[in-house]
Structure formats: C-alpha cells, structure tokens
Amino acid sequence: MSGERGVNTAGREPILSLHGVHKRFGGLHAVNDVSFMVDAGSIKAVIGPNGAGKTTLFNLIAGNLPVSAGTISFRGQEIQGRKTHQIARLGMARTFQNIKLFHGMTALECVMVGRHVQSRSGFFAGMFSLPLTWKEERLIRARSMELLELMQIADLADTEATSLAFGQQRAVEMARALASEPKLLLLDEPAAGLNIYETAEVARLISAIRDMGITVLLVEHDMSLVMDISDEIVVLSFGAKLAEDTPPNIQQNAEVIKIYLGEDDAA
C-alpha cells in the first residue's frame, strides 16, 4: 500500500491503527475522520493547537470515551467499544494530562497498584486490598522498585506521592503506567508544567522507555521535546489530521507553520 501524505506505509508493522475515527459531542465534531498507524517500537507524537482534539483522541484509543464512528485496532484486535480495563489487559497503559495519584499512598504503593493489572490476583484485588500471595507481593514490590530506579526516584519510594515535586509526580505516574508491562504507552502532555531541566529528563525517560521495546504515543505542546524524540508526528487541526510526517518535514510544512503562527501560544 502506498503511503498517505508523506508517510510510506509499505511494509510497516503497526501496533496501533486508527481508520476513519470520528467523535462528536452534540454538534461539535471533536475528532473528524482521523486515520494513522503507530509502528511497533517507535515514538509517535500527536500535536495541534488547543482544542484540536488531541486528548479526545487519546480517550478514544484508551477506551475512556466511545467512538462515534471508525475502527481502532491494537495488536491485531479491534478495540473500539471495549472497556478501559479490557484494553489495558491487551497491553496499553496511559498517563493523564492532570496527574492522578492516590492520596495517602507512597510513591512505591502507587506503582504497585499499577502492577496489579498484570498480577494473578488481578486489578480488583489491588483496588479492594484483597490478599495477594506472599510471592506475588514480593515480586510486585521488587519490580515496582526497579521502575522507580529507572525513573531515578527510588530514594523517594516511601514518600507520600502527592507531596512530591511536580516533576517527580510525573515520574511516579510514568512508573505506575509501566508497571502493567504495556506494549504501548500513551503519554498525555508529559512535559506540561515542567521546567526545561525536568523536560529534558522526561525526554531521556521516554527514549529509555522506547529502548525497553515499548511503543510510545504522546500528546505534547513542547515542540522541542516532540522534535527531539519523535520518529513521526501527526498534526491535528479542528479535529482533522492536517499532516503526518517526520519531525524535519513537519517543521517545514507550510500548513503546520500557519496553524501554529496563528496561535497565541505557538511554540
């Protein structure tokens, strides 16, 4: 098959494919006929001005919202219409634009809850504190500590998560998402609210996650982060796909430049 708009799709191995995806909220067409693929092992970014439909698209992919039309295939299975926990069990994890950590839990405990999705006792045991076997508990704790080490916050394992600095909370959230051992990680604005040093650290972490063999799809406003780490970029404008290409080509795309220059907070 030949590629569309600058991207060669021949011989690709998508882990995620969207075909003709629509989302309407009453009269508002928030996502309008969006199609693209995410190659296994790649980092792909979705960018676009405020209100372009990026978060809505993430919510459709992760099952937080039902699609109005179209298909979403993940690891060879159509997932539109499935529940979030069913999609999570297929190997998808996500973080949220607004960090969602549990009050009263340490950083380590937050990551361990993420791990319960994969444990034999399962997600509900994690949520309702049903007893895990001693062996399961020990393995989950050890793996969760490894993830905190990967995120370079192992020394904060016993600190209450919501009392951590913002950048550290993002690292906990990424570790929690990784704890379910996803094949695809969705990151919704991982650099939002971070300073340039924390953003550089997040860029390093995302590349490290990809190097672990995990595919990454991210929504992000920080253009230098997106251009640095992405293999490909999808640009949304008013819910529709405006462009899909490599970072150098997106930077030179006249239509993309136009929508960003027309925006007050263009990067």
Closer CB to ligand ATP, 14 or 48, in the complex: 48
Q: Which helix (H) or strand (E) holds 20?
A: strand 14-25
Closer CB to ligand ATP, 140 or 202, in the complex: 202
φ, ψ for residue 19, nearest 5 deg? -130, 115
Sign of CA dihedral 114, 191, 251, 262: positive
Chain Cα centroid distance, residue 66: 18
For the bound state, the minimum distance from the C-beta of residue 186 to ligand ATP, rounded and expressed in Å, comes to 13
Strand intervals (E) in 40-167: 43-47, 69-74, 77-78, 92-94
Closer CB to ligand ATP, 36 or 179, in the complex: 36
Is 117 near ligand ATP (CB under 6 A)? no
The answer to whether 47 and 220 have CB atoms below 8 angstroms apart is yes
Closer CB to ligand ATP, 56 or 144, in the complex: 56
Closer CB to ligand ATP, 50 or 129, in the complex: 50
Residue 167 CB contacts under 8 Å (≥ 6 apart), including other chains: 194, 195, 198, 201, 202
Q: How many residues bind ligand ATP (CB under 6 A)?
A: 11
Tell me whether residue 220 is exposed, middle or buried, using C-beta atoms within 10 angstroms of its C-beta: 0 to 12, 13 to 18, 19 or more.
buried
Token couple for 55: 């978060």
Closer CB to ligand ATP, 32 or 168, in the complex: 32
For the bound state, the minimum distance from the C-beta of residue 33 to ligand ATP, rounded and expressed in Å, comes to 15
Strand intervals (E) in 50-171: 69-74, 77-78, 92-94
φ, ψ for residue 52, nearest 5 deg? -70, -15
For the bound state, the minimum distance from the C-beta of residue 37 to ligand ATP, rounded and expressed in Å, comes to 20
**Touching ligand ATP, residues 46-105 (CB under 6 A):** 48, 50-56
**Touching ligand ATP, residues 13-52 (CB under 6 A):** 25, 28, 30, 48, 50-52
Note the residues at the interface with ligand ATP (CB under 6 A).
Answer: 25, 28, 30, 48, 50-56
